[in-house]
Homo-oligomer: A and B are copies of this chain.
Amino acid sequence: MQSAGIQACIIPTTDPHIGEYTPDRWKTREWISGFTGSAGTVVITMDKAGLWTDSRYFLQAEEQLKGSGIDLFKTGLTETPSFSEWIASELRAEDCVGIEGEVFAASESKTLIEFFTGKDLKVRTDFAPYDSLWENRPPIPVNRAFVLPERFTGKSCHEKIEEVLTEIKKHQADMTILAALDAIAWLFNIRGNDVEYNPVCLSYAVVSEKETVLFISSEKLTQEVSEYLQLQGVVTADYGKITDYIQKIPAGTKVLTAPSKINYKLYSILSEKCEIKETTVHPADSLKSIKNETEIAGIRNAMLKDGVAMVKLLIDLEKAIENGETITELDIEKKILKYHSDREFYFGESFHPIVGYGAHGAIVHYEATPESNATIQRNGVLLIDTGAQYFDGTTDITRTISTGEVSETIKRDYTHVLKGHIQLASAVFPAGTVGMQLDALARLALWKSGQNFLHGTGHGVGCFLNVHEGPQSIRMNHNPAALAPGMITSNEPGLYLAGEYGIRIENLLLTVKAKTTDFGDFYAFETLTLCPIDIRLIDRSLLSPEETDWLNAYHQKVYDQLAPLLSKEEAGWLEKRTRAIIST
């Protein structure tokens, strides 16, 4: 920093593809801080260092930063300054902030540059000393890609390219650049192994009337993939050639980009000669988020499999507890992997399983380790959040389970979380509604008790793709992407009491058309996930008759759909756990 004349540098979590999860090569923030969470930013000045991360990771970050000299800044709390504000308060006028433009979204870089310039600070966007400092930095991954057949995707790559071209024209553009790995995997009907839990392959793409080019290393291209792409009219080029290609785009070309989905380095090169047409949401992301009939049929099938796996797991767990056997968080994790992997079209997990007993459940993104591994006791609650990647769909489910005696307080808290879950699941809303408008439905029962959860209520979910995808979300923050029929979004209110317990109930929702009236189109949610919600944890006096009806109808559906796939004994257990409850 000193030799570069820089007084503060910012190290984000993301990579040149602005991914939420990144290949090991770009885990610079983890390498420098030791903090392994999926979200966080490190800032280093000449005499201080800080990590900014959100409530999901407060406890984990505190643990992992011990002795590092890096201070924890808890984002989302009103008293916490943003890292930019903090830098501005630490530096003096004319000081310089260094970032590596290649791993920052163009939108974020522009915001940072504007902010720091307003504070009389300079910004350098080519500060990237990590290659020489980072011993044994992992190489760029070169795992093989494979084609996802149209029986799963429902559309050919060629058809999707045509749809993207139509959207590009609507934006008065000639061309678009894609850097987001999930959008590229969707568009080309290919999948890969380059990012843990995300079946994507490192690549860029250019789509224009003239040609569609996929930038991908030749090591990844099996004969099958090459032939498919050729058949679909796609040209391939080496991964590293994207910069050259962009530099050679004729001056004045109108290029559509979503600045939040392209890195600042590519964006800067583009903006030198091209006319950039900016969009908040890239059409490829919008198109990807609206699942077609084949994809919806696939996810329904994946839900049946996931439901069966969960039922088998819950039965094993209950038996072990009843029989007084020792069963730990890691034992449960292993069982989940087994039951998932026994199912048809299994590819892997969709994220690292979270199995948190008691106080561990309050650590929102807890990962059990041999050191932390807790044995399940006959009291309190256990939080299990897992998901799988099947060729026909991506799943994500959380259940909070009674392991024996529970207090009335836990029941009250659990029921408040459940009320929120049901209120959101049963919402009806007009076309154009965005997630922020519905988010409070999932929180109101908690808010009335002076409680809250600080993570989002819902994220988009891909089809055999990333378990977190845009453009839609259901959050306390504003996101202009409207909820549209065909989108899959999670519904996961929770409550976390540090040192005590954590509660979360998560199902996936499909947005569907509800009705059309003089007031326009109205949409609703269909709950896709099939797994009992623990009725032993409910304080029935807190549920309204409508909420009780929703739960009973949901449980009837879970039973009807899963029972035929279970043994008689398993079906008997499910019958008991999905029995209708009576409103008090």
Binding site for B on A (CB under 8 A): 77-78, 118, 277, 427-434, 436-441, 444, 447-448, 450-452, 476, 478, 480, 514-517, 519-520, 522, 544
Contacts and interface: CB of A to CB of B under 8 A. Distances in A.
Query: Interface centre among A430, A433, A480, A520, by most B CB within 10 Å?
Result: A430
A561 to B, nearest CB: 26
23 contacts: A427-B440, A427-B444, A427-B447, A428-B444, A429-B440, A430-B447, A433-B440, A433-B476, A434-B478, A436-B436, A436-B437, A437-B437, A437-B440, A437-B476, A438-B440, A440-B440, A440-B441, A441-B441, A447-B522, A450-B514, A450-B516, A451-B519, A544-B544
Contacts of A277: 118
Contact of A436 (B427, B441, B478): B478
A289 to B, nearest CB: 18
Nearest to A452: B519
Given A437-B437, A437-B439, A437-B440, A450 B519 contact: yes
A120 to B, nearest CB: 10
Q: How many chain copies does the complex carry? A: 2
Contacts of A515: 450
Contact of A431 (B78, B118, B431, B440): B78
Given A520-B78, A544-B544, A448 B428 contact: yes
A489 to B, nearest CB: 16
Given A437-B436, A440-B437, A544-B544, A447 B476 contact: no
Nearest to A438: B440
Contacts of A77: 520
Contacts of A428: 444, 447-448, 450
A523 B549 CA distance: 31
B517 A450 contact: yes
Given A78-B520, A452-B519, 15 more contacts: A78-B431, A427-B440, A427-B444, A427-B447, A429-B440, A432-B476, A436-B436, A436-B478, A437-B439, A437-B440, A450-B515, A450-B517, A450-B519, A450-B522, A451-B519
Closest 4 CB pairs of A and B: A450-B517, A452-B519, A478-B478, A428-B448
Contacts of A519: 450-452
Contacts of A78: 431-432, 520
Nearest to A514: B450
Contacts of A448: 428
A117 to B, nearest CB: 11
A434 B444 CA distance: 14
A428 B478 CA distance: 20
A452 B437 contact: no
A432 B544 CA distance: 28
A583 B519 CA distance: 30
A438 B444 CA distance: 9
Contacts of A439: 437
A428 B428 CA distance: 22
A440 B427 CA distance: 10
B431 A447 contact: no
Contacts of A118: 277
A432 to B, nearest CB: 7
A277 B119 CA distance: 11
Contacts of A437: 436-437, 439-440, 476
Contacts of A450: 428, 514-517, 519, 522
